[in-house]
């Protein structure tokens, strides 16, 4: 029987990553191991990974990357140098993947990767980014959720870089339908009440949507003025992210025919 996934911090704390990204090491029964997400190549991450692999007497054979954002993928080349037997896999994102010089292997929705007796299934779950994958272990009903879920925080939807709020809603619904026991996110602590947290994220988005519509009704017509009214008191470093989220809501509402845009001003239909 395989062991519990081992949490290894990527050691990259910041306003956007919180205490830093989580990466997870899955140690197989056959001397092979897989790492979920590559981190950023921080020396301490590389050392802790190497120490753990040697303690477990196993070799890193797979690095499975949830998506192409730098805090998840940019550690690829450093890992590739230290672990030449490792294959690097992700859902393709043309124009982004080649920022990281590793030979990416393409994963599609439903593809499986075996590590010893553990089987991981890739779930294409776009929304936060177009290439986002979650990884599902049915045996333990565990999902590695990447950036789909951040306990106690709102997930960024990068509409100007391939994100889509409508897809994000669908991806959360898809995870909810799996009826998982544990979610292991790329930021924040492990989640032992998946349905509660997933429903919380869905409800949070619905609330933001109501706030965007209320701001429009109150005469706030630009992304900037809407973000200021909705995210009043937010740390200045996080305001660009807040504006991006407002934009994500407006684009979803526009696709649904509920709002229109003229120049940079938005109006309810």
Burial of 269 (0-12, 13-18, 19+ CB in 10 A): exposed
Question: Which residue, among 177, 100, 172, 94, has the nearest Cα to 130 in the 3D structure?
Answer: 94
Of 92-151, binders to Zn ion (CB under 5 A) are 147
Q: Does 83 bind Zn ion (CB under 5 A)?
A: no
CA angle (11 as vertex; 145, 202 as ends), nearest 5: 25
**Residue (168 or 266) nearer to Zn ion, CB:** 168
Two structure tokens written together for 17: 């990553």
Beta bridge partners of 14: 18
Applying CB under 5 A, the span of 65-73, 94-102, 134-142, 250-258 interacting with Zn ion comes to 65-73
Residue span binding Zn ion (CB under 5 A) among the ranges 61-69, 80-88, 109-117, 201-209: 61-69
| Nearest distance, CB of residue 170 and Zn ion, angstroms | 17
Q: Cβ of 9: how many Cβ atoms within 10 Å?
A: 16
120 — alpha (psi -120 to 50), left (phi > 0) or beta?
A: beta
Q: Which CB atom, from 69 or from 201, has the smaller least distance to Zn ion?
A: 69
**Nearest residue to 164 (alpha-carbon basis) of 129, 131, 132:** 129
Q: How many CA atoms lie within 13 A of 39 on its CB side?
A: 27
* Minimum CB distance to Zn ion smaller for 69 or for 249: 69
DSSP class of 215? H
Active site residue 71: yes
CB of 226 to Zn ion, least distance (A): 23
* Of 50 and 237, CB closest to Zn ion: 237
Stretch that binds Zn ion, among 4-12, 69-77, 101-109, 241-249 (CB under 5 A): 69-77
State how far Cα 106 lies from the chain centre: 18
Q: Is 61 or 69 the residue whose CB approaches Zn ion more closely?
A: 69
Number of residues that bind Zn ion (CB under 5 A): 2
Shortest distance in whole angstroms from residue 39 CB to Zn ion:
13
Catalytic residue among 30, 37, 51, 71: 71
Which one of residues 45, 61, 62, 69 is an interface residue with Zn ion (CB under 5 A)? Answer: 69
Active site residues: 71
Site of interaction with Zn ion (CB under 5 A): 69, 147
């Amino acid at each position: 029987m395989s062991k519990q996934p081992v949490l290894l911090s990527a050691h990259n704390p910041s306003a956007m990553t919180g205490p830093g990204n989580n990466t997870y090491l899955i140690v197989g029964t056959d001397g092979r191991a897989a790492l979920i997400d590559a981190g950023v190549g921080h020396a301490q991450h590389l050392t802790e990974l190497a120490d753990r692999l040697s303690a477990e007497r196993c070799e890193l054979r797979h690095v499975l990357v949830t998506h192409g954002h730098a805090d998840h993928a940019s550690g690829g080349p450093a890992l590739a140098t230290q672990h030449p037997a490792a294959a690097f896999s992700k859902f393709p994102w043309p124009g982004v993947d080649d920022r990281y010089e590793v030979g990416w292997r393409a994963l599609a929705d439903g593809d499986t990767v075996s590590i010893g007796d553990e089987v991981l299934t890739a779930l294409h779950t776009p929304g936060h980014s177009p290439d986002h994958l979650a990884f599902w272990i049915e045996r333990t009903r565990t999902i590695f959720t990447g950036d789909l879920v951040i306990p106690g925080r709102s997930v960024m939807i990068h509409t100007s870089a391939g994100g889509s709020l409508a897809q994000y809603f669908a991806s959360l619904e898809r995870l909810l339908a799996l009826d998982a026991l544990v979610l292991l996110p790329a930021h924040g602590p492990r989640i032992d009440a998946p349905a509660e947290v997933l429903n919380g994220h869905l409800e949070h988005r619905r609330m933001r949507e109501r706030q965007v519509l209320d701001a429009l009704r109150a005469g706030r017509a630009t992304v900037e003025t809407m973000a200021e009214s909705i995210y009043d008191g937010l740390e200045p470093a996080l305001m660009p992210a807040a504006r991006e989220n407002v934009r994500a809501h407006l684009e979803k509402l526009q696709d649904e025919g509920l709002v229109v845009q003229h120049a940079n001003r938005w109006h309810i239909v």
